[in-house]
Copies of this chain bind each other. A is one copy, B any other.
Amino acid sequence: MKKSRSHRDQTATLEALTLLRVKALPVDTLRENVVMLARDCHALRPERFKGSRKVELRLNGRAIVANILIVDDPSLVSETEVGLTRPALDRLCAADGDDVHIGPAASPESLDYVRAKIRGETLPDDAISAIVRDLAGHRYSDMEIAAFLIASASFMTAEEVLALTRAMADVGTRLKWDRDLIVDKHCIGGIPGNRTTMIVAPIVAAHGLTMPKTSSRAITSPAGTADTMEVLARVDLNVDEMHAVVQKCGACIVWGGHVNLSPADDVLISVERPLAIDTPEQMVASILSKKLAAGSTHLLVDMPIGPTAKIRSGAYAQRVRKLFEFVGARVGIVVDVMVTEASAPIGRGVGPVLEARDVRAVLEAAPDAPMDLREKSLDLAGRLLEFDPGLRGGQGRARAQELLDNGAARRAMDAMIEAQGPPPRVAAPGHLVSEVVAPRNGRVTSMDCFRIARLARLAGAPTDPGAGLDLLKRNGEAVRAGEPLFRIHGEEESDFRTAVEAAAHDCGVVVSPS
């Protein structure tokens, strides 16, 4: 009896010891959960976390796992405090002065499955679900996420990709629509200026189909569709607002960040991008989990192939396509993969404002509208329209062109912009301008998509929406020495100069003597 009593006392004391007062620190990690503890912290000794450095914090039923930094100044974080940085503060819904429970974090049990994957095993569905739940719960460190990604890279069966897709869609928001046909499009990416969604969605909506589009912001590219749409309209809508827009307009183009579709995928992407890892398995699971969560029934995948695009060979494209079709069929999404040629950027602008200008020009049928962007958008919209059982086979493209040329698509876009609300700021092309000129008479014989994207990003895109590149010559076009190939726009002096210098070193456009 005595023994059990003393045990209970000890537990009580221990619990009391693990309470710390929250100090909200003016520090933002952008991504990982990080807390700061005094070296002589009352609750636990942070130096003991060298090997496996995570702690768990609990407050009002919420729990987060965080890495530790040690503080040696009580005025920053005292021995009775835990310093919380953003986004950990937001994820825990904690505020200055809250009392939180803190203790060593148990390593997520699903890491055992990651280790099995590292050993080359094939994982059952429930193991993959457990991993996905811990990913979405921010319980994996960067190194653990990387371990899962690399162990999975090219060593996943199609069934594992299917399980991953389903598990990722199940965690987070699932959108429901009261219509049978929900179409969507997705571009594999890597082609600067390829802003077709903003032309395709209004065409499809004008025809009467439903296309509730959630887009991403750029992570490593100069603009995501959400960044470019934000030049024209508000994009950070929540689920209810998004529903209202789609109810009214048949389509929307919003940022996926507030909608929380497949949050585990966002966690994986946050490590894939810096590592520049892009496997077909991860790509298919990523895209289809988002579409499944978004309630899509029909998906058109734009897959550009080119020497500097993400997908560089037909054989590789075929492998990706088969996997899309396999997983799509099993999760109930009709997937149509459209392979497009991609030897150069599409449109003229690269960067949010300059791309939005191109989109406007196409929708308004302006005489200087970039024809390649118009043609590609019509091809894609035509394929999407053919998902409509009421349309005769082969009529999709003509119908798309009709809706674009008669102004119906422009009006649909205006309605979407009206419904989504005004953009957060009025943005114009960056006032800092520098021209890059042809070094000789000749012809443009290649344009490096990767380099051009990089220059636009160096110039400040998408942080500065007006920054980017305005391409004045197309691939194959004849040029004279000294004639401008493209303009660099910037809003901010130092970034602009960095881009100008980088372009002087390698502008990405090759002019060969005729």
Contact = CB atoms under 8 A, between A and B. Distances in A.
B275 A497 contact: no
A334 interface: no
A27 B85 contact: no
Interface in A144-168: 144-147, 149-151, 153-154
Contact of A500 (B10, B120, B497): B10
A207 interface: no
Given A26-B71, A27-B72, A39-B28, A50 B14 contact: no
Contacts of A478: none
Given A14-B497, A147-B150, A150-B151, 12 more contacts: A10-B497, A14-B494, A26-B71, A26-B72, A27-B76, A28-B71, A29-B69, A51-B273, A69-B85, A143-B271, A143-B274, A146-B146
- Number of copies of this kind of chain in the complex: 2
15 contacts: A10-B501, A27-B70, A28-B39, A29-B70, A44-B494, A45-B495, A48-B463, A52-B220, A53-B274, A111-B276, A118-B150, A118-B154, A120-B154, A143-B143, A147-B150
Nearest to A504: B7
Interface string A491-510: 01011011011001000000
A52 B118 contact: no
Interface stretch (A30-38, A127-135, A185-193, A291-299): A30-38
A3 to B, nearest CB: 9
B463 A14 contact: no
A270 B18 CA distance: 27
Interface of A: 7, 10-11, 13-14, 17, 26-31, 34, 36, 39, 43-45, 47-53, 69-73, 76, 85, 111, 115, 118-120, 141-147, 149-151, 153-154, 219-220, 271, 273-277, 463, 492, 494-495, 497-498, 500-501, 504
A149 B150 CA distance: 9
B143 A7 contact: no
A275 B143 contact: yes
Contact of A26 (B28, B76, B145, B276): B76
A316 to B, nearest CB: 12
A275 B147 CA distance: 8
A43 B271 CA distance: 26
B13 A30 contact: no
A89 B115 CA distance: 35
A457 to B, nearest CB: 8
Contacts of A26: 71-73, 76
A219 B50 contact: yes
Contact of A145 (B7, B44, B47, B143): B143
B34 A27 contact: no
Contact of A51 (B45, B119, B220, B498): B220
A141 B34 CA distance: 16
Which among A10, A76, A501 has the greatest number of chain B C-beta atoms within 10 A?
A10
A267 to B, nearest CB: 12
Nearest to A68: B30
Closest 6 CB pairs of A and B: A26-B73, A143-B146, A146-B146, A150-B150, A28-B70, A26-B72
Contact of A30 (B10, B47, B115, B147): B47
Contacts of A273: 51-52
